[in-house]
């Protein structure tokens, strides 16, 4: 097994690839790949690689409309489909090399274990970026930062109602999510690898994180099925001036796109939903 790579700058970093995809596809939309075989069309029923084939058709239908794809690892692992996840990411990298892949894993553990999680994300699955829980502090994040150019997307203000239990706690005159945003932007982002997760259901907090974190990319889940307001998200979170104006967001939609249609037209329906979402986002940029 090879050692973790040294932390050297990368000419093909996640952030560079993300910026290129924003421009090439004129899109801030990320399609979340959260497969649920119970919702698949009937023709996948007896397919042992149904998860791969369903997701690959979604990818092919939407690749020119997105800035990222974001497979959620639990949806694959719970079905013993990790091999299909590997194949899916390999397919995206081969057929759509300009589209970055974010592995949504939300890992968070002590440094020695985190090093294995980082290897899983970046070597086994060959993802361009991974979501990480920062609760254990900097040493738990360091193993991800040691992979040159790979994106490390840290949970900051999540879209679930229970996020208030901890993320709004006062820590020395600021809220915990504000402290996370400041730590990541000012201390942990040593090689320009970091981004933050801020839920679409809290546009005021998106604006606050943007104020604290400057031009860091923000991954924003919660539009579509979770009800986040696209106009509010874009106005709160887009970079407002200077380099990168009108960008800065990775706005994720999963179920509303994946399951927009049923039967053999599911991929066409997904494309229509993705295009509608991409165009609505652009209307407010």
Please identify every residue annotated as catalytic. Answer: 106
* 187: Cα within 13 Å, side-chain hemisphere: 11
CB-based contacts of 213, cutoff 8 Å, min separation 6: 181, 182, 184, 185, 196
Query: Using CA atoms, how far apart are residues 55 and 73, in angstroms rounded to an integer?
Result: 13
DSSP string, 223-268: BGGG-B-HHHHHHHHS--SSTTTT--EEEEE-HHHHTS--GGGHHH
Query: Do the Cβ atoms of 215 and 181 come closer than 8 Å?
Result: no
Give the tokens for residue 5.
């790579």
Residue with token string 């801020």: 198
Q: For 271, how many CA atoms within 13 A lie in the half-sphere containing its CB?
A: 12
Contact between 24 and 110 under an 8 Å Cβ cutoff? The reply is no
Q: What are phi and psi of 197, to 5 degrees?
A: -100, 125
Tokens of 59: 């990818």
Backbone angles phi and psi of 205, in degrees to 5 = -75, -30
| Residue 26 dihedral angles phi and psi, to the nearest 5° | 45, 50
């Amino acid at each position: 097994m090879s050692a973790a790579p040294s932390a050297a700058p990368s000419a093909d970093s996640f952030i560079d690839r993300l910026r290129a995809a924003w421009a090439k596809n004129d899109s801030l939309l990320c399609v979340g790949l959260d497969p649920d075989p119970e919702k698949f069309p009937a023709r996948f029923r007896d397919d042992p690689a149904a998860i791969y084939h369903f997701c690959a058709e979604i990818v092919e239908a939407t690749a020119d409309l997105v800035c990222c794809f974001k497979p959620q690892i639990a949806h694959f692992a719970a079905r013993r489909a990790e091999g299909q996840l590997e194949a899916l990411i390999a397919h995206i990298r081969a057929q759509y090399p300009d589209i970055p892949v974010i592995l949504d894993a939300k890992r968070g553990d002590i440094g020695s274990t985190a090093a294995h999680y980082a290897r899983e994300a970046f070597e086994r699955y060959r993802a361009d970026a991974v979501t990480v829980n920062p609760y254990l502090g900097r040493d738990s994040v360091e193993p991800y930062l040691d992979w040159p150019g790979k994106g490390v997307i840290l949970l900051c203000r999540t879209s679930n109602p229970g996020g208030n239990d901890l993320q709004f706690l006062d820590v020395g005159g600021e809220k915990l999510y504000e402290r996370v945003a400041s730590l990541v932007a000012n201390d942990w982002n040593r090689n320009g690898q970091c981004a933050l997760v801020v839920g679409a259901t809290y546009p005021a907090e998106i604006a606050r994180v943007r104020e604290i974190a400057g031009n860091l990319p923000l991954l924003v889940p919660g539009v579509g099925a979770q009800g986040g307001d696209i106009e509010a998200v874009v106005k709160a979170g887009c970079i407002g001036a200077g380099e990168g104006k009108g960008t800065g967001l990775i706005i994720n939609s999963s179920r509303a796109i994946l399951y927009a249609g049923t039967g053999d037209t599911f991929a066409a329906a997904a494309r229509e939903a993705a295009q509608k979402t991409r165009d609505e986002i652009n209307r407010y940029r």
